[in-house]
Amino acid sequence: MATTIYESGTVHLIDGTELYITPLKLKYLREFMVAFEAVKEANGDSEAISALAECARICMKQFYPSIKTIEDLEDSVDLPTIYKILDISADIKINEDKEEESVKEQAVESGSTWDDLDLAKLESEVFLLGIWKDFEELEKSISMPELISILNIKRDLDYEEKRFFAGIQGVDLDKQNGGKGGQDLWEEKKAKFFSGGATSDPNDIVSYQGPNAAKAGFGIDMGLGYEKLVEN
């Protein structure tokens, strides 16, 4: 089954211009996440929507640089289009028909978090591959799903190499480490990131979203849905 690293899509500006939207490159995602703090601190939906518009304006730096101001953005896209841009570029999911939850609640609950991911450390690990001349070029080149995918392969290959040489010396590295050691912690962190903090269990269906769902070939919004149950 063919899989993808991330989801992409197209949106149309009011003047008919078609934009191809992908996850934000790390350079813009950093700025996006700083602006997203204003959504968390918003007093009501009106402030939250204004903050989300600023987040969308930051997205335009990657997708359509001629949109430079909030006024430019408002002249170019409607609110549903802003929501679609945020969904594809940063996995911020907002359903206007979901009346039981406010826009702010939906945005904050779906927003991915870097709280448990040391981005600088992860970038440093990938940088050792020697592909990019500096960290600025790296951040301009890849998105978070691409970073996670590269690290998955790199860590798997590193571990297989260590296991091979340990085996030559008669050491069962899997048994010695109780599994893959650091890989287990890495899987937990990925699960927490892709589930928006909802779970750290990589086997929990909530963690099968975005790139995790694409890698598995199924998951949330790929033939599966889920509903949060609130205990009384």
pLDDT tens-digit map of 132-180: 999 999 999 999 999 988 988 888 887 777 777 777 777 666 666 655 4
Mean model confidence pLDDT for the chain: 80
User: Which pLDDT score is estimated for 97?
Assistant: 78
pLDDT tens-digit map of 47-79: 999 999 999 999 999 999 999 999 999 999 999
> Considering only CA atoms, which of 93, 97, 96 is closest in space to residue 107?
93
More confident residue, 117 or 39: 39
User: Which pLDDT score is estimated for 209?
Assistant: 61
User: Which pLDDT score is estimated for 232?
Assistant: 47
**How confident is the model over 13-20, as a mean pLDDT?**
96
User: Which pLDDT score is estimated for 159?
Assistant: 74
User: Which pLDDT score is estimated for 7?
Assistant: 87
pLDDT category at 86 given cuts 50, 70, 90 is very high
pLDDT category at 2 given cuts 50, 70, 90 is low
> Considering only CA atoms, which of 180, 174, 132, 179 is closest in space to residue 156?
180
**How confident is the model over 97-108, as a mean pLDDT?**
86
